[in-house]
Amino acid sequence: MLRIFKKYNLKKQNAFKLDVIAEYFVSVTQKKDLKKLAKRIDLKTNKHFILGSGFNTLFTGNFNGLIIHPNIGGIVKLKENKSHVWFKVGAGVDWTNFVKFAVSKNLSGIENLNLIPGSVGAAPVQNIAAYGQNFEDVFVSLTSYDIIENKFVKFNKSKCKFAYRDSFFKRESNGRYVIIDVTIKLSKIANIDTSYHSRYGGIVDELNKFTKPPYNVSVIAKAVGRIRRRKFPNWNKFGTAGSFFLNPFVSKEKLSEIQKIAPGVQFYPIEKTTYPPTDDHYLKHSSYVKIAAGWLLEEIGWRGKRIGNVSTSPNQALVVISHGKTSPNEILSFTKRMQDDFEKAYGIKLEPEVNII
Ligand SMILES: Cc1cc2nc3c(=O)[nH]c(=O)nc-3n(C[C@H](O)[C@H](O)[C@H](O)COP(=O)(O)OP(=O)(O)OC[C@H]3O[C@@H](n4cnc5c(N)ncnc54)[C@H](O)[C@@H]3O)c2cc1C
């Protein structure tokens, strides 16, 4: 039976573990639940929000509407050829469990995305990426439920409009499509990517500590896991959304200016990054780069800084952490100070990666 909870505490389902209450909450475990839900509540007119595991969501207060939690499970093999295997994965499957599953079968494509907290359903919304791999590269299609038209709708890759930590769902759809399952294509041939490195060490440095080439997907996932456990606070214990802000894109002239203040700042060519297929003039030019916001925040004293119950990580200045009982306002005023200081120092406005609701 489809149960709609009233006055539901979201503490366990929001990145900063805030005590926020949803007026209504429903967990959807089967496709047909959505049709049933639409019969009971007019989803077109009632305020709602689709919530996965909440690891990239910051509620600014109680939510006066319905939270729809897609919790559909299952990993089904659809087909296989000489080089690839296709899986249909339920939106409610834990992303890291799916990575473990792939690695256990020696399938490649998501090993560098190990230990990104959250659900499979959120992966296309956020277009998750880490250590040189991007979700969009393994994505084939998804099934969603359109709450306006009351029908199931398929999305292929081009309809998703993937971009850097961005997609059609994040930017345009405004909660219209509830993602139910995602089809992912993994490679039988390992495409090992060890190119990622940062101020905090790279994949090769980590691999050297416990293994030797040739590498397989399992050791890559292990190395990534070890780096991430060091870099991030334990997200089951502390409130955090990982990187709070996006890494900004800047022109090469702007980069030269910044390098005068922060020599050695890490930057990445945007040809290696996926960026929005928009009319945005600057993104069309390869003379732009993506710069490491965490590095620049560290340069201006934001690494490990604490104000009241909120701090940045002692290991990465872009990672905001809540300690104990924290209010949404405390987090918002802390991150506003980060933004203001950054803009003052570099003339660039940081944009949140986190969904602020
Ligand atoms: C410690 C830590 C490290 C992190 N590191 C990374 C990283 O390396 N790379 C990276 O990309 N991200 C990273 N993140 C961010 C986060 O893990 C991802 O954004 C993840 O995809 C969030 O999943 P979720 O289920 O918790 O999403 P939620 O926060 O629940 O939702 C995120 C967005 O997706 C929408 N959504 C969720 N599920 C559905 C659905 N089924 N249908 C339609 N819309 C939906 C929500 O409405 C919301 O807009 C990190 C977070 C933490 C806490």
Q: Which of 354, 327, 309, 242 is nearest to 19 (CA)?
A: 327
Q: Kindly tell me if the per-residue pLDDT of 200 is higher than 70.
A: no
Give the active site residues.
165, 243, 353
Contact 31, 72 (CB under 8 A): yes
Read off the pLDDT band of 239 (50, 70, 90). Answer: very high
Q: Give, for ligand 1, the residue of 37, 66, 116, 167 to mutate: max count of ligand atoms closer than 8 Å to Cβ.
A: 116
Q: At a CB cut-off of 8 Å and minimum separation 6, what does 110 contact?
A: 98, 99, 102, 133, 135, 138, 184, 186
Cα angle 233-238-242, degrees, rounded to a multiple of 5 = 55
Look at residue 197 in the predicted model and tell me its pLDDT: 76
Q: Where are the alpha helices (DSSP H) in 127-251?
A: 157-160, 168-171, 203-210, 217-231
Residue with tokens 């059609």: 168
Look at residue 264 in the predicted model and tell me its pLDDT: 86
CA of 261 to the centre of ligand 1 (A): 33
**In 10 A of CB 267, how many CB atoms?**
18
Taking the CA of residue 41 as centre, how many other CA atoms within 13 Å lie in the half-sphere pointing to its CB?
20
Mean pLDDT, residues 38-61 taken together: 93
Q: Domains (ranges, CATH) in the chain?
A: 4-70 (3.30.43.10), 75-187 (3.30.465.10), 239-356 (3.90.78.10)
Residue that wins the pLDDT comparison between 273 and 175:
175
Residue with tokens 């934001």: 302
Look at residue 272 in the predicted model and tell me its pLDDT: 54
Q: Is 235 in the pocket of ligand 1 (CB under 6 A)?
A: yes
Residue % of the chain over a pLDDT of 90: 78
Per-residue pLDDT reduced to its tens digit, 157-168: 999 999 888 899
Mean pLDDT, residues 237-242 taken together: 94
Would you list the DSSP string of 131-164?
A: TTEEGGGTEEEEEEEETTTTEEEEEEHHHHT-BT
Mean pLDDT, residues 140-147 taken together: 97
Q: At a CB cut-off of 8 Å and minimum separation 6, what does 39 contact?
A: none
Q: Is 118 in the pocket of ligand 1 (CB under 6 A)?
A: yes
Read off the pLDDT band of 310 (50, 70, 90). Answer: very high
CA of 120 to the centre of ligand 1 (A): 9
Q: Give, for ligand 1, the residue of 89, 126, 318 to mutate: max count of ligand atoms closer than 8 Å to Cβ.
A: 126
Contact 273, 290 (CB under 8 A): yes
Read off the pLDDT band of 285 (50, 70, 90). Answer: low
Q: Kindly tell me if the per-residue pLDDT of 341 is higher than 60.
A: yes
Q: Kindly tell me if the per-residue pLDDT of 43 is higher than 60.
A: yes
Residue that wins the pLDDT comparison between 97 and 46:
97
Q: Kindly tell me if the per-residue pLDDT of 193 is higher than 50.
A: yes
Mean pLDDT, residues 233-258 taken together: 91
Summary mean pLDDT of the chain: 92
In this structure, what token pair is assigned to residue 89? 């994965």
Q: Return d(Cα 177, Cα 45) in angstroms, integer.
A: 15
- Residue 38, Cα to own-chain centre: how many angstroms? 28
Contact 104, 153 (CB under 8 A): no
Q: At a CB cut-off of 8 Å and minimum separation 6, what does 336 contact?
A: none
